[in-house]
Amino acid sequence: MDPRAACLACLEQQLPAVFEAALWIAVEHQPTLQPADWLQRLNNLQQHVSQGLPNLPLQELAQPLLRRLNELDFHEDDERPLRPHAALMNHVLLRRRGQPLSLALIALELAKRLGIPLQGVNFPGHFLLRVPGADHLLDPSSGRRLYTRECRELLQRQHGQEAELSASHLLACDARSMLQRLSRNLRQLHQLDDNPMAALRDAERVLLLGTPSLHDHLARADIYQLLDCPQGERFDLERALLLSDDPAQRLQLSQRLRLLRASPALH
């Protein structure tokens, strides 16, 4: 099956197979990768994790699960500059290093298999987890509990002292939102890695998985510009113009579109 179609099919299941869908995303960039092999590797990891969990009610096992992964050397990737392997799930399983979202996808899959209630939280700049009904969030990189004050501090570290914490930052998110964020991460990492064709695959997937933002269209327009594809660039600039409420930005986009229309099409 085509990797993208397989990814979307995983999300159409009654209980979305989020981790498998993330593996199919990796297949788009590594065509010889076999998801079944990495699902088996996760089965092995599940055995190691479950052997080290305390005898507690399931609703109290989310933090021990994360700490157990930490004991097994799963940590946030601190390599700089960060490379795409920090968001490709087979590499994260192999290296035991990844972005918070990548680590969270492993934890969520293990929690689902073990019956431990756990949800993803699309927190700005650093993906988090939560137990339904709990008064705190959990850092997938360490298992640390984050209460309101810690969440505010994390937000301000990511976005500056003027950033204000809101209730929307703390809400659980669905499978499509997680994979759209994973695709955005990969798009950025492939751009930084000077691989615009790979970044374009990620940018296209972002638009398929959910409602695209103005930034999503601008990001794909910039990739098309790198690839010398003015028709694609024009399409996304026009969509960005429709979404923008900023007069200065609208003027800048209009000027960029005028320049494109004045240039001969290459594709």
CA distance 126 to 18: 19
- Closest C-alpha among 48, 44, 103 to residue 76: 103
Q: What is the pLDDT of residues 189-206, one digit of tens each?
A: 999 999 999 999 999 999
Confidence label for 262 from pLDDT (cuts 50, 70 and 90): confident
Q: Residue 180 forms beta bridges with which residues?
A: none
Using the predicted structure, report yes or no on whether residue 267 has a pLDDT greater than 50.
no
Q: What is the pLDDT of residues 74-123, one digit of tens each?
A: 999 999 999 999 999 999 999 999 999 999 999 999 999 999 999 999 99
CA distance 141 to 126: 10
Percentage, residues of the chain above pLDDT 90: 95
CATH number corresponding to 175-262: 1.25.40.10
The domain spans of the chain are 3-170, 175-262
Return the amino acid letter for 183.
S
Q: What is the mean pLDDT of residues 194-223?
A: 97
- Identify the three-state secondary structure at position 85: helix
- Identify the three-state secondary structure at position 115: coil
- What's the pLDDT score for residue 264? 60
- What's the pLDDT score for residue 265? 53
Whole-angstrom Cα Rg for the chain: 20
